[in-house]
Amino acid sequence: MLEDYFRQYGLIAILALVAVAVPTSMLAFSWLASRVGIRPANPTPVKLETYECGVETIGGAWNRFNFRYYLYAILFVIFDVEVVFLYPWATKFIRLELFALIEMGVFVAILLVGWAYAWRKRDLEWGS
Amino acid sequence: MPGLTDNLYLLTPEFALAGLAFLVFIIDLLLPEERKDLLGWLSVAGLLGVVALSLVMLPGKEATLYGGLLAVDGYSLFFKVFFLGLGVFIILSSIDYVKLHLNHPGEFYGLLLFSILGMNLMAQSRELLTAYISLELLSFSLYVMVAYALNNAKSNEGSLKYIIIGAFSSAILLYGISMVYSALGVTRFEGISAALSSITDLRPALWVGLALIMVGLGFKLAAVPFHMWAPDAYEGAPLPVTAYLAIASKAAAFALVLRLLSEAFVPAADRWDQWQIIVATLAALSMLVGNLVALAQRNLKRLMAYSSIGHVGYILAGAVALSTDSLLGANGIIFYLVGYSITSIVVFAALIAFFNATGQEEIPDLAGLADRQPFLAMAIAVSFFSLGGLPIFVGFTMKFYLFTAVANAGYLWLAGLAIFTSLVSLYYYLQVIRQMYIQPALAAPATDAADGPGEHPPAEPESEHTHTPSHHEPSGDYEPLPRPSALLLVVMVLGLVAVVGLGVYPAPLLELVEGASAAILPGG
């Protein structure tokens, strides 16, 4: 059984090879095409700009992000995980007993402490 | 088969501890800034409550929870009370320091409580992933606590190194766990021992996995050659956190390693014979490198870091002596952990008192401490003698038991090396004592006029001490230090009483220790 399990890594290895081969072959083909003269080469500043979802780029790619994004991400993860647990619990709620309700209450209460902590420490306010 | 939640009540102390930690965090939100030291007292009271709760509820209980992930037995009870007690003493010695030097006291105590919870679970877990999660609960709290001196570059540097090495070693540990699982299909300790003793074809994956687990734990223990993070993390951390790193986190890692070795490796006798050599090599390297490099240190925290690496070597030597038919090795290790922790608490309480008074932490700064603050000098001297292994202190007794166990297991060279490196360690301990007792105090800095109101009368009991003024000429030119605060005095006095008491009369503690080690080595 474990051998079968390890064999699956072979598939992953093939996938990895393909994943490397596709972009490499594209670049190689493009380079070849330019050598043969099929591909015209006339770069303009607009063409050479970083692609930013199609809109005009603002600033360099090396600017710093506000540290607060990180806090928001962490808070987001807290509630994300909460939903991951709440969802299966909610679908089976009818069949679960009182114990499960209490357990979920404890779980949500613990997360609430974290949230209240972030609120009280003014991490939800952008300005300060 | 019993349900998973049938005996959940046996975890009441853990639930209470987690509740206490949350309570500290919540109350911290409500308290005004100047009343925050209440949180320290609340933590101490809560920890004592949890100790009482465990002592009332758990003695004599033998059970496994969650289908064998956690064990409630004599071993876990012993370590639970031990860790909670250590927590009490660490908090008592840090209350003053936190008030003077650190911001955010609420989180300090809350994180400390969470890390104690992690340590308790480490001593209880009988399964690799549970052990790993408990270890991470401890480590995460420690990463933050090491960086607690926010504006101190060294603290940040130490914490950065600690967190990177910690994450790295966790990855190695997890990878090892996954390899072992792929080879054996189990992660429970008793499953591993059963599989190890019955397996016939030795897959490389199994050996690589077990080796990676040992390497990962070696990083956590700071055993040579996985020790490089320790001195920087110790030096950068605020002193109470250094104490906590050196004492509690080390004891917890050993509680985990001891249970892992005794339940997973030692019962598979053939394989354990091969593994003993590896543990013995780690032990020998740790003793040699820790003690020899300690000779060159000037900073007290770095000195304690290298000395603790040396002590890790001794305890690992004890781990070599583990076997199914003798409790000597396990007894020696647990007794050593207790003795080492108590002694180190005295050292660190004294260093914290010294730092609170002077803000200094280099060895030369201690010059003339015997004149400036005789009690502090005495506390440091006694506990260093104990760490060096001189008799009538607990350090001698613990080394005696441990080294006897090592020699009995047939590892005479290791026991010999341990004794030799103990002698080496005595040299750098005595260097510090020489600074305090023989070296004259540095001339008082020209700030005499500045400390008007806080001025203390020159210590009068000077003359009563058997102290000959002949060995330094410029006598009287020192500045007496203010007395350590009452809290630190209490910690030091209790610690010193225990250091001497356990050194002279270790029998009661040994009885408890034997009960604890019988729980993990039932054959002994």
* Residue-wise pLDDT tens digits, A76-86: 888 888 899 89
Distance from CA of B320 to the nearest CA of A (A): 33
Q: How far is A83 from chain B (nearest CA, A)?
A: 22
Q: What is the pLDDT of residues B418-463, one digit of tens each?
A: 999 999 999 999 999 999 999 887 665 544 444 434 444 444 444 4
What ipTM was assigned to the predicted interfaces of this complex? 0.71
Buried b (16+ CB within 10 A) or exposed e, B306-337: bbbbbbbbbbbbbbbbbbeebbbbbbbbbbbb
Segment A98-107, tens digit of pLDDT: 888 888 999 9
Residue B358: which domain range?
266-443+475-524
Residue B265: partners with Cβ closer than 8 Å, 6 or more residues away: B192, B193, B196, B271, B272, B275
**Which residues share a beta bridge with B71?**
B64
Cα separation, B472 vs B450, in Å, equals: 27
Cβ-defined contact of A113 to B185 (cutoff 8 Å): no
Distance CA(B516)–CA(B512), nearest Å, equals 6
* Phi and psi, residue A72, nearest 5°: -65, -40
Cβ-defined contact of A2 to B26 (cutoff 8 Å): no
- CA distances (Å), origin B420, targets B321, B403, B404, B431, B432: 18, 11, 14, 18, 20
Interface of B with A in 43-72 (CB under 8 A): none
- Split into its structural domains, chain B has a count of 1
Distance (Å) from the alpha carbon of A60 to chain B's nearest alpha carbon:
28
**Which candidate from A5, A99, A113 shows the least CB-CB separation from B26?**
A113
Looking at the domain assignment, is residue B76 inside a domain?
no
pLDDT at A59: 75
SS3 category, B160: helix
Residue B95 belongs to some domain of the structure: no
Which pLDDT score, from 0 to 100, does residue B465 have?
44
CB nearest B29 (choices: A5, A110, A120)? A120
Q: HSE on the CB side for B371, CA within 13 Å? A: 23
- The answer to whether B22 contacts A113, with C-beta atoms less than 8 Å apart, is yes
Angle (CA) B56-B59-B63 rounded to 5° is: 120
> Which chain A residue is nearest to residue B183, measuring alpha carbons?
A2
How far is the C-alpha of B77 from the C-alpha of B308, rounded, in Å? Answer: 25
Closest by CA position to B90, among listed B194, B245, B224: B245
Best mutation site among A111, A113, A115, A122 for testing chain B: the one with the most B CBs within 10 Å?
Answer: A113
Residues of A in CB contact (< 8 Å) with B are 2, 5-6, 99, 110, 113, 116-117, 120-121
- Gap from A59 CA to chain B (nearest CA, Å): 30
CB-side neighbour CA atoms (13 Å) of B447: 9
Contacts of A99 in chain B (CB under 8 A): 5
CB contacts, 8 Å: B22 with chain A: 110, 113
B-chain residue closest to A3, CA distance: B182
Q: Is residue A4 predicted with pLDDT exceeding 80?
A: no
pTM, to two decimals = 0.86
Q: Give me the pLDDT at residue A17, please.
A: 96
How would you write the pLDDT of chain B (524 residues) with one tens digit per residue? 456 667 888 999 999 999 999 999 999 999 888 888 899 999 999 999 999 999 999 888 888 888 889 999 999 999 999 999 999 999 999 999 999 998 889 999 999 999 999 999 999 999 999 999 999 999 999 999 999 988 889 999 999 999 999 999 999 999 999 999 988 888 999 898 888 888 776 778 888 998 999 999 999 999 989 999 999 999 999 999 999 999 999 999 999 999 999 998 888 877 888 889 999 999 999 999 999 999 999 999 999 999 999 999 999 999 999 988 889 999 999 999 999 999 999 999 999 999 999 888 999 999 889 988 999 999 999 999 999 999 999 999 999 999 999 999 999 999 999 999 999 999 999 999 999 999 887 665 544 444 434 444 444 444 444 444 444 444 456 778 888 899 999 999 999 999 999 999 999 999 999 999 998 887 65
Q: Quote the minimal CA–CA distance from B183 to chain A in Å.
A: 8
C-alpha–C-alpha distance, residues B373 and B479, integer Å: 9
**Helices and strands, counts by H and E, chain A:** 4, 0
Q: What is the DSSP string of B104-153?
A: -HHHHHHHHHHHHHHHHHHHHB-BHHHHHHHHHHHHHHHHHHHTTSTT-H
